[in-house]
A and B are shown apart, each in its own frame.
Chain A
Amino acid sequence: MCSGSLKALMAACAMGALLGACQREERDQRPSPVASETREQVALTTNSAGPSPPEIRVSGKGAKYEASAYDQSQGKKYYAWFNCNGCHSNGGGGSGPPLMDDRWIYGGSIENIVQTIREGRPNGMPSFRGKIPDEQIWQIAAYVRSMSGNTSSDSAPQRNDSMHPHPSESRTPPSPPVNGGTVAPSPSR
């Protein structure tokens, strides 16, 4: 009797683990052949002229990428393939700003980062519009978020294909984005 319910419990746990694992790796076997850009309306600052905060309208697509281990590991690959590390190094920054810290000049939400990659930014960040398909921009942005521990640790990349310059993204403690960090440093720093 007791062992029966124990078995049932174990089966339920195994099932749960299996199903959870499925979702973590879920991918589009065959993405829609009419990929088009999402429209994201994001704000770079919380300041606004007038009483109401700036209007933000996002597609909500980001949550899917931030929960998917597959998308983030693809993003990690493209980050190197498209030479982001030429300017940002492995997140620590070089001629471009660090991406693994909590300071975000142009906002640290996934939509902000998608916009940064797609449109470029004035002080030397090139625009990748048309050069990187939209799906891949989202994957890279999710990976950039994982560098500062802002995606869940069970979906963030857990190992590197080559040498490890730093602990894996899944072990990075979360550092919630502080917007406009380098523009107006907070007094605590």
Chain B
Amino acid sequence: MVALSLPSVLTGCERWPDALDPKAPEAHDIAWLIWTFTGLLGAIWLAVVIAMLIAIRGGRRVAPPAAGATPLDALALHPAGERSRTVIVGVLGGLTALTVLVLTGLSYATQRSLFAPRQEGLSILVTGKQWWWELQYEDADPSRIVETANEIHVPVNVPVTLKLEASDVIHSLWVPRLMGKEDLIPGRQNVKRVFVTQPGVYRGQCAEFCGQQHAHMGLLIVAEPMADFERWRDRQRAEAASPSSDEQQAGHDAFLKRSCVMCHQIRGTDAGGRSGPDLTHVGSRMTLAAGTLPLTRGSLAAWIVDPHGVKPGVDMPLTKLEPDELNAIAAYLESLK
């Protein structure tokens, strides 16, 4: 009962990473495979249970032993009954072997199509870090390479190749509505394809325990029509917007004066650190710190003033700022659309 009602409870969930609501061919394939397995094996299980019930309730009655019979007589062979039982067991055995073969074949075929090497369309290098995702949109033309973090924009109906690497420990990328899990392993590159058919925002999550803030290592995949995607990409390629108010200017100056420049890059300024996320267009993202907070000016300030309050143990240290610098930096970063 519990097992049967679980899927309906899960589909009823309004939370967005929903494995039972596939939105990409790969996720469809996996869902189809799971449902086939569940259906077929469920039917067999039901048949066995029914057969057992029949055997228990209405089965053959064993006649009481005749007077003078030894207990061994009960085990004596009855050639006719024995033969029909051999046939039944043989047929069932054959059916079992067939079921196993068919399911293995299905699983193998699906795997093959999932992992078939295909290099086409858009290619994105995804590097897992404790505890965020570094993204680089590759292109033969260096001026079209885009660097960003934590939010993967993809065009719909175009095959996208994700090249997965890690720089510290093993991570795993899982976007339940789009694809199965694939590990990011230091020292090697795994390849994963996504092909999204429906525009939307899909939530992903690190699925391999990677340390204290593993649970706060999320990401978003934003699928949009090609024209929108190209517009996004052109915006991301551009250098950071220059400050347009006094407050933003003060924030810009404070950012460059403080520790922030050691780890963060803002293209178009002197900030060239590479160990934290690229902040050139941080204001254009929907979330902050790998899906931990919605990106607002308030959450930016909360994050900068006390990153360990939001993500204890995070690799961004606490920087002591002057009281008037915090709001200015938050305003400046928010303006980096």
List A residues at the B interface (Cβ < 8 Å): 27, 29-31, 33-36, 81-82, 130-136, 161
Q: Give the contacts of B15-52 with A (CB-CB under 8 A).
A: none
CA of A82 to CA of B317, assembled, Å: 13
Q: Is B261 an interface residue (CB 8 A)?
A: yes
A27 / chain B contacts, CB cutoff of 8 Å: 313
Is A35 a contact partner of B168 (Cβ separation < 8 A)? no
A131 / chain B contacts, CB cutoff of 8 Å: 258-259, 261-262
Residue in chain B with minimal CB distance to A133: B317
Measured CB to CB, the closest approach of chain A to B260, in angstroms, equals 9
Given contacts A81-B262, A131-B261, contact A33 B168 (CB under 8 A): no
Q: Give the contacts of B245-263 with A (CB-CB under 8 A).
A: 257-259, 261-263
A131-B258, A136-B317 known, 5 other contacts, Cβ within 8 Å: A33-B305, A81-B262, A81-B263, A130-B257, A133-B259
Is B259 a contact partner of A30 (Cβ separation < 8 A)? no
Residue interface mask B164-198, A partner, CB < 8 A = 1: 00001000000000000000001000000000000
Is B312 a contact partner of A29 (Cβ separation < 8 A)? yes
A31 / chain B contacts, CB cutoff of 8 Å: 308, 318
24 pairs of residues in contact across A and B, judged by CB atoms under 8 Å: A27-B313, A29-B312, A29-B313, A30-B308, A30-B309, A31-B308, A33-B305, A33-B306, A33-B308, A33-B318, A35-B318, A35-B320, A36-B320, A81-B273, A82-B262, A130-B257, A130-B258, A131-B259, A132-B259, A132-B262, A133-B317, A133-B319, A133-B320, A134-B320
Q: Is B275 an interface residue (CB 8 A)?
A: yes
**B residues contacting the other copy or chain, number (CB 8 A):** 20
CA of A88 to CA of B313, assembled, Å: 28
Residue in chain B with minimal CB distance to A74: B315
CA of A29 to CA of B309, assembled, Å: 9
Measured CB to CB, the closest approach of chain A to B129, in angstroms, equals 12
Measured CB to CB, the closest approach of chain A to B316, in angstroms, equals 10
CA of A30 to CA of B313, assembled, Å: 7
B309 / chain A contacts, CB cutoff of 8 Å: 30, 33
Residue in chain A with minimal CB distance to B212: A29
Measured CB to CB, the closest approach of chain A to B146, in angstroms, equals 23
Measured CB to CB, the closest approach of chain A to B325, in angstroms, equals 11
Residue in chain B with minimal CB distance to A77: B315
Residue in chain B with minimal CB distance to A37: B320
CA of A92 to CA of B313, assembled, Å: 31
